[in-house]
Structure 1
């Protein structure tokens, strides 16, 4: 069959939930037997979010092939349980860089380069690459930002042209909008939605479906009004009240008949009957009363929780699996440097230090590592967290206070963490780290091996610095076990303490491969250890998906 395309646009405000809507509808289509992929079009001129501050853009989500992408790709992979590739995140920066490069080579034979057709043709070419590289039968394409943004206009023009290029029967436009609530009158307002649809239609795109987001119930009168003024079928106006958990959204869309409407408009028939039993059990587990445990997350961007989106979700996945509820205590590492919040993390059931860059707040994170080590609090260090676990070990077990990472002190006499050899002469920052999926050999009998229950795993990386092998022997002699090593024996991937109930650091980012129906084994082991530390009894929850795919981490 020809590739089918669903395009998602946003109206009224940004961050309205397009990414979750696209991910949830992707799950609906997968449940009906179709191969699905999702692509995010980001209108910023950065080539990718890899060099952007998390305060600007939230977390950078890394794919198997090393692409540094928008956090929405995390939603897509978690909801649909798929693996995406670098063509699934397109930016204005990538488009213009490619077109200008072709112009410099003379590929356009001296022609004048314009937004139409050159920029829009490149956008369409990259959209077409998704099905070719992923094998997807249905490609879902989300446009970042809001209709009316000047940055998004070339993308919207390209989507308008695509309906003509691939045929109306192969395209569907879904507009996700926001219904503001006026407290003084106690009513939802549709006028902003009407205006955003009018802007969309002025470009030449008429939505086939409108998802009306709201914090309040949307009555039939509102639905009828939107349908009338926006020229959309009444059944295709989908009210979407804010859910108590993101993972409820696919069930709500299924109840609203979205899957059947999409298939009908694309001229498709379901290949199998959707089976939502496991997903419903997952949502029921979310709502079920459970004992709580506190996990202290030590970061430098904690004011914006989206900076640690995948870590947060991985903690929730593992906790759900074990029948407990995680309460994350967001602790700013700079505050720890000032002596604040130490009692708060001392009373936590577990301490987690995620990835990060730069020297701000580093000593506060090292203080948290030391507290976890000396007071036997379960600890999980991810990337930078693992590196600081090694720095703290060198300082306080090996008694060398000047030990450090050369990222923070280039003159340290004991660089236990140092630049990778192939990074020594790199000057550009973007896309030059160790990125993507790499294998890791596990040591039998270790905490990591017991968690994974297999000897070889593959995990996603994003880092420039590594453990310095010159210190491997002395670390091992003093109680550090390197339980995960690259197959060639050169790179430390996992370290753990032999005299601690659970103190584990990973050079990779396990959070990127955690799924709601298949939690990551290291996060399960960490939450299990935290529960034991807090004296909380776990009640493991397993659905059929977990049983079938438990060991799918390679």
Structure 2
């Protein structure tokens, strides 16, 4: 039976609960324990799949096809444990489940209430797989006091009461603001946050205090006294050079020891921090720098491409170079020549996206990379734009476009090189979709296999010819145009096992030009960089030596 750590936040949002949870998971692993991390989000969306990237940042996709919060990306990158559908839930999903049961008559005519029906549904979710790991870390989204989060706080209170004593602890993350006028760190916001938590029946065992300034011992003692925690369980959390320094920093601050003390685990196994020491060594002792242009449509919010940014960092680690990524709005290239913007870069990456805005700019970025011999990585929509560019400028299909955003133009229809995917094979059954289906959860989601062409660039990058990668798309390159495109040099070097769906394309006469229909960034980790990103950065490094 797992031990549970419930991670909550107070004072303000965006303090780094997800990062602290992920780092704690990595530290417990370093001591030889198995872990699983979960996210409980109070928002009423069923999942973040239909939320704007500007609203919620990146949607992280699991192998089993769940669209989840980007914090699950942190969990995977720090622990290497693949997330599942059962590791992320929202209020919307909880209420949906309860209402479905009510419609089926599962409650035998009872009046449906938040307590016990909603809280019971939350507790059932928390307990899934509780016999699989030593520690289950559950992060509650938002901050204490949010009205949306109250059912979750009540559920974890009940859950802890129902479990054997000592099986559940609470970790609370707060802010210690610094007032420059008085030259003081103020502990009162933390005290009030803990008071709010205690008013709903939750007493934190460990306090993690975010601060931009060192926390004096007397302030830590004051926090411990007024918040009713042990002094060695008040853990400082300072700004870091890199998020990957978090496991080492939290270990130095005593977070893992405080958690084990709260569970009464003594003597605690000695930690092996060599993995994270190597990660930081590669980060801080880079032997060069490459510049990568990310040509996208959500560039105003970098969290929209969080996994891509991290995967590029991992690719840099693999090559012991620093990757300087710069974000460029694809719409700029719809009214300006891309050359002056892109010439200073050693490689170009075009990420995924939805809708028409910026697509012509992405096509022009792909054209620049192809014609100038600049390393190119196109992901999902970035692959589709590269195919459309080749169809227009190499295969003579001047009206090549996509069903996603191209429409009839006067007497002449566009050539749908990219079409709406209406059916595909998932496991041992066929999935069918219509344009009129609901938007949420209806894409080709999760892990699918692909067969790579022996001798291709991508087979060389992976070092094998069978791969499995995560997808999130509803439009697909039409295989009808394969022969015309391959005759021009754009090779379909990766296909679905049934040979119907193109997974990877590459220009055979280009130093490094690869487009993939899937999202390789979702599986990259600092201690295991994804081969495509390692290869892409390696190609950028070679390009940097030519200019």
TM-score, structure 2 normalization: 0.95
Closer, same or farther in 2 for the Cα pair 1:271/1:235, shift >3 Å? closer
5 Å-filtered alignment, 1:157-236, equals 157-236=154-233
Q: 2:444 aligns with which of 434, 449, 460?
A: 434
Distance 2:270 2:124 in 1: 34
Number of the residue aligned with 1:510:
520
| 1:468-501 deviation line (CA, Å, top 9, x unaligned) | 0110111111101111111111111110001111
Number of the residue aligned with 1:450:
460
Number of the residue aligned with 2:417:
416
Following superposition, the deviation at residue 270 of structure 1 comes to 7.0
Q: Do the aligned partners of 2:42 and 2:148 also contact (CA within 8 Å) in 1?
A: yes
| 1:45-79 deviation line (CA, Å, top 9, x unaligned) | 00000000000100000000000000000000000
Q: 1:494 aligns with which of 476, 488, 504?
A: 504
Distance 2:159 2:139 in 1: 14
Distance 1:27 1:426 in 2: 43
Following superposition, the deviation at residue 185 of structure 1 comes to 2.1
Q: Secondary structure at the match of 1:262?
A: helix
5 Å-filtered alignment, 1:271-282, equals 272-282=269-279
Q: 2:486 aligns with which of 476, 485, 509?
A: 476
Paired residues, what number? 534
5 Å-filtered alignment, 1:368-407, equals 368-407=365-404
Greater shift, 370-379 or 264-273, is seen at 264-273
TM-score, structure 1 normalization: 0.94
| 1:410-449 deviation line (CA, Å, top 9, x unaligned) | 4443111111132335520000000000111111111111
Q: Do the aligned partners of 2:338 and 2:365 also contact (CA within 8 Å) in 1?
A: no
Q: Secondary structure at the match of 2:166?
A: helix
Following superposition, the deviation at residue 182 of structure 1 comes to 1.4
Q: Do the aligned partners of 2:406 and 2:414 also contact (CA within 8 Å) in 1?
A: no
Following superposition, the deviation at residue 534 of structure 1 comes to 1.1
Q: Do the aligned partners of 1:346 and 1:371 also contact (CA within 8 Å) in 2?
A: no
Q: Secondary structure at the match of 1:13?
A: coil
Number of the residue aligned with 1:324:
321
Following superposition, the deviation at residue 278 of structure 1 comes to 2.7
Number of the residue aligned with 1:3:
2
Q: Secondary structure at the match of 2:24?
A: helix
Closer, same or farther in 2 for the Cα pair 1:279/1:364, shift >3 Å? same
| 1:362-387 deviation line (CA, Å, top 9, x unaligned) | 11111111111111110000000000
Number of the residue aligned with 1:264:
261
Following superposition, the deviation at residue 196 of structure 1 comes to 0.5
Q: Do the aligned partners of 1:485 and 1:492 also contact (CA within 8 Å) in 2?
A: yes
| 1:393-424 deviation line (CA, Å, top 9, x unaligned) | 11111233210011011444311111113233
Distance 1:428 1:13 in 2: 35
Q: Do the aligned partners of 1:263 and 1:270 also contact (CA within 8 Å) in 2?
A: no
Number of the residue aligned with 2:529:
519
5 Å-filtered alignment, 1:213-362, equals 213-268=210-265, 272-339=269-336, 342-362=339-359
Following superposition, the deviation at residue 164 of structure 1 comes to 0.6
Residue segments in structure 2 that go unaligned for 5+ positions in a row: 424-432
Closer, same or farther in 2 for the Cα pair 1:340/1:207, shift >3 Å? farther
Number of the residue aligned with 2:128:
129
Segments of 4+ moved more than 6 angstroms: none
Distance 1:341 1:56 in 2: 29
Residue segments in structure 1 that go unaligned for 5+ positions in a row: 538-554
Q: Do the aligned partners of 1:434 and 1:461 also contact (CA within 8 Å) in 2?
A: yes
Number of the residue aligned with 1:72:
71
Greater shift, 108-117 or 61-70, is seen at 108-117
